[in-house]
Chain A
Amino acid sequence: MLEVRDLRVEYLSPKGPVRAVDGVSFSIGPGEVLGLAGESGSGKSTIAHALMRVLRPPAIITGGEVLFKGKDVLALAETELEDFRWQDISMVFQSAMNSLNPVMPIGDQITDVIIKHKKVSKKEARARAAELLDIVNIDKKRLNSYPHELSGGMRQRVVIAIALALNPPLMIMDEPTTALDVVVQKEIMQQIEQLKEKMGFSILFITHDMSLMVEFSNRIAIMYAGEIVELAGARELFENPLHPYTQGLISSFPPLTGPKHKMVGIPGSPPNMAEPPTGCRFHPRCTACQPVEKVVKPKLQEVKPGHWLAYHPGMPGLNVNGI
């Protein structure tokens, strides 16, 4: 349904361009949840903004293709974008709790979206807004409430209701529950799951929380310094991670059950994107680093059916079966 090929985004700075997203390719099928995991600064949110075409200078898309149902998103004109956004792809932003207008009742904020995109009367839009609140388990009477009268979890649900307003086939969720408590997070994630089953939309799910991601996604792409380093089915990736960075990420989340282990995390800190390391960008922090990694950039390739990995063929040290 959505296909991204070799996407490149640069931020222009006085010291020269910073490549925040460097040749990223992935696809999302109907009804699928693709997780995009990585640390802050790895380019996750930049990809989300590029897909919605909401990047503002100094960020510019310098290359690649984004195809949505065969339509070239990067070639759409400003007027076409209005129809594209929200109708085709909607987005739940990071810290969505604060993306509501504080001086406007939530009902008006929902009807705004509907009236803007559909030729309906105010009354019909209002009825639809009430229906949407009902879908996300908020009392219809709350239509006239202001955001400050709602709790964090309810605000988040309102934002999801707005994203659902036009029944888009794809929803981008950028850290939708990061600011919420675990109990509320669980509730909202369960609700999104139910809505997805019922309405059949796909999700591009962005987070840095690997545990949440493994539980919620069908497939997961791991990003590091603007590149995808590994992409596989969620279970496969969690049980059989091949890239040293993925292994490190997974070992950064202590388990809640089972025996206690000493966990190591990843040494060092994320790279400065203005001067990314040569070769494999992870090499300064990698414990399994080979000399070739410092010079030649590894390529993302399929090492097992459905399991993609950025690596150098024939390289020892990596635990790739049959290679």
Chain B
Amino acid sequence: MSRKRSDFENSFFGKLSRFVNGEYTPFKEESGYSVDQTETERRLHDDFFKEAEWTKKQNEADSYVSEYEGWAETKGIKLYNRLYRILAGVVCVAIIAVLLYTVSMLPAFGNPDNPANNEVPERYIEKGLEETGAVNTVAGMILDYRAFDTLGESHVLFIATICVLVLLKINEEDEKEKKLAESDDRRLEPKNDMILRFGARFLVPVIELFGIYIILNGHLSAGGGFSGGAVMGAGLVLYLNAYGFKKTERFFTMRTFSIVSVSALLFYSISKTYSFITGANDIESFISNGTPGNIISSGLILPLNICVGMVVACTIYAFYAIFRKGNL
């Protein structure tokens, strides 16, 4: 009785054994898409044209300038560069000297009697557990005591994404632009790299789980929304690198990005406004701090950490995707 499955030839082990015997190369068969030959050619053609046009323009401009900037073009720039370097060195040394002079008079390093160690950190540490319910004092501080700063900070990330979109987003309707950006991307994409794919298959789930762990334990141990979100974003980027846009676009598109980050930021703003206003007007807030040390505790800190984590993960992925092909 043969224990071989009927489709052994196409199964994982079958392929592996053939791969070991050198009968099979995964690069040909596994490619999810083939590089469109004509498109690449057209792109090169385009590039060539652009380059030619560019040099022509440059030459025209150069000849125009050389009429009245002859000296500046040749010797001037050399002299200028040398002077510039010396000047840069001088500026650098001057700035450092002035700052060092200041530093030498500052309070001593590691001294418990420094002015910064006053009643403010004292209360954060001594009362923090009771007032915010967060074991991690830093999380309690940035998400409860000084939450307004952090509210601004998460919007900094959002606005950076918007700026990157403004600078690099391609027009979806413009077919030519879109194809160009896609073929541009394909030049740089690793083509079905075996090691990367296998590595990613094992690493991505672990990385994502680790990111979730960091976010959920932000109020209990070192970590929080920002670091966890960055880890999750890195995992997504790894996945994208290994499997390409076709795979990631099944679960992460512009729409996903908008929905996740907008709802997270809105939840953040609304819940924090609620807590600002109840706090300022001395109204009893219905959010309780729970038992410090439990996962579900410390009032708003856990949900806010989750929100921030989602925003950061989406943003990191969005940066990478937009840099690569001008869209999500």
A and B: bona fide binding partners:
no
Measured CB to CB, the residues of A under 8 A from B are none
Measured CB to CB, the residues of B under 8 A from A are none
